[in-house]
Structure 1
């Protein structure tokens, strides 16, 4: 079901019948990217939201999906100014040299009752392959994608953690709504 309560078309059906062919753009007002981690040796959850996100995608008539989701690393907001300053600094995201976190999608296949999204993730200048399962639906000229993506920040060289208090394992939660361009 879509948020409006209307049944959504399974995305894979819409891909194969050509319904989704064309260009798509991220609806910034209805989309969000969140970061979740654990601190104090796993005892305290830490939540943040990226306030600046952009994205687009293309679906071919044959159902091939490509796209990009770009997050301004400096837009992280954990509701703790000191933590946010550290995250933006050269110790973690190094926004002066690497202002964006980018997810590039190069495919989508059926998986586990939803879709498996494949592509790459670039953080702080390091690019790694990325594959995750997501729930997806299409309705009334929009496509929604919801996923929780596990990421080990050490894969991107982000190992700074005073006293090893912060977990290296993080979850990126994505709620993306795309509309026709």
Structure 2
């Protein structure tokens, strides 16, 4: 199956990676993920009539380093205690079913900004258990400062510890709901 059928699709988090990449100390990159999210994809009769809503649990941040994870989910960065979720609500889709731009409102730490993801549809299939699945890859770049995440530390040689540009990478699997 190479096309999406109209209807409601739910995120399969056990087969999804919501990742990030940010420059560290100006010389390398830190990568990590958020490991708890919910999303609903509503596929319309055309790609332009489709929409997605997602909520990511900030406390599920995982960079592979417990100290960094505690700092990033704390007040200096995401402030997960006050802002437990990041959300995305799509406002438009343009392109073909195979490759499209998904534009929407991304809310992080109480600040909402428009963001456009470049999305590639990986295909759809029926798994051995009878569930209809679809896969997508999506990327976007945001400025963390645009969302009020401004903490940084100056480096002795110049520059700062944490880059401003964050690349969001998503490899998502959705399962079609029985309507």
Between the aligned partners of 1:122 and 1:145, the Cα distance in structure 2 is: 21
Aligned match of 2:143: 152
90, 98, 118: which is aligned to 1:105?
90
Q: CA RMSD in A?
A: 1.6
Count residues with an aligned counterpart: 164
Asked if 2 retains the 8 angstrom alpha-carbon contact of 1:65 and 1:108, the reply is yes
Asked if 2 retains the 8 angstrom alpha-carbon contact of 1:104 and 1:120, the reply is yes
Q: Please say which of residues 68-77 and 129-138 is displaced more in the overlay.
A: 129-138
Aligned match of 2:34: 50
TM-score, normalization: structure 1?
0.84
Asked if 1 retains the 8 angstrom alpha-carbon contact of 2:35 and 2:60, the reply is yes
Aligned match of 1:165: 161
Deviation >4 Å, runs of 4+: none
Q: 5+ unaligned residues in a row in structure 1: which ranges?
A: 1-7
Say whether 1:59 aligns with 2:36: no
Aligned match of 1:93: 78
Asked if 1 retains the 8 angstrom alpha-carbon contact of 2:122 and 2:137, the reply is no
Between the aligned partners of 1:56 and 1:76, the Cα distance in structure 2 is: 21
> CA-to-partner distance for each residue in 1:51-90, whole Å, 9 max, x for gaps?
1121112123354111112111111111111111110111
Q: 5+ unaligned residues in a row in structure 2: which ranges?
A: 126-131, 155-159
